[in-house]
Amino acid sequence: MAGKGETWTTIESDPGVFTELIQQIGVKGVQVEELYALDQDLLEQLKPVYGLIFLFKWRSEKDDRPIDRSPAAGEVFFANQVINNACATQAILAVLLNNAGRIDLGGELTNFREFTAEFPPELKGLAISNSDLIRAAHNSFARPEPLVSDEQRAAGEDDDVYHFISYVLVNGTLYELDGLKEGPIALAPATEGDWLARVGPLIQARIERYAASEIRFNLMAVVGDRSESLTARRRAAEARRDAAVARLTGAAPPAAAAGAVAGAAGTSGLGDLGASDPLPADEGALQQLVAELEGEIERLESQQAEEAAKRARWRAENVRRRHNYIPFLFNFLKMLAEKGKLKGLIDDAAARHADKERREREKAAPGSGGA
The Cβ of residue 176 has, within 10 Å, a number of other Cβ atoms equal to 21
Nearest in space to 100 (alpha carbons), one of 87, 113, 89: 113
d(CA 233, CA 259): 12
E strands along 96-243, which residues?
Answer: 162-170, 173-177, 185-189, 217-224
Q: In what order do the strands lie in the sheet with 185-189?
A: 30-35, 217-224, 49-57, 162-170, 173-177, 185-189
* pLDDT at res. 272: 52
pLDDT over 90 at 5, yes or no:
no
Give the pLDDT confidence of 316-336 residue by residue, as tens digits: 887 877 766 567 676 777 787
Q: Which amino acid is at 220?
A: M
Topology, domain 15-224: Ubiquitin C-terminal Hydrolase UCH-l3 (3.40.532)
* pLDDT at res. 84: 80
DSSP, residue by residue, 220-267 = EEEEE-HHHHHHHHHHHHHHHHHHHHHHHHTPPPPTHHHHHHHHTTT-
Choose the most confident range, by mean pLDDT, from 5-14, 281-290, 360-369.
281-290
Domains of the chain, residue spans:
15-224, 227-321, 326-364
* pLDDT at res. 59: 73
Positions annotated as catalytic residues are 87, 163
Q: What does each C-alpha distance from 118 to 124, 227, 346, 361 come to in angstroms? A: 9, 36, 61, 64
- Asked if residues 152 and 105 have their Cβ atoms less than 8 Å apart, the reply is no
Which of 35-39, 127-131, 135-139, 156-160 is predicted least confidently?
A: 156-160
Which of 21-35, 267-281, 322-336 is predicted least confidently?
A: 267-281
* pLDDT at res. 1: 42
* pLDDT at res. 94: 97
d(CA 362, CA 96): 56
- Rounded to an integer, the average pLDDT of 79-107 is 94
Rg for the chain (alpha carbons), in Å? Answer: 26
Q: What is the pTM of this model?
A: 0.77
Q: Which amino acid is at 325?
A: Y
Share of the chain above pLDDT 90, in %: 54
Higher-scoring residue by pLDDT: 8, 157 = 8
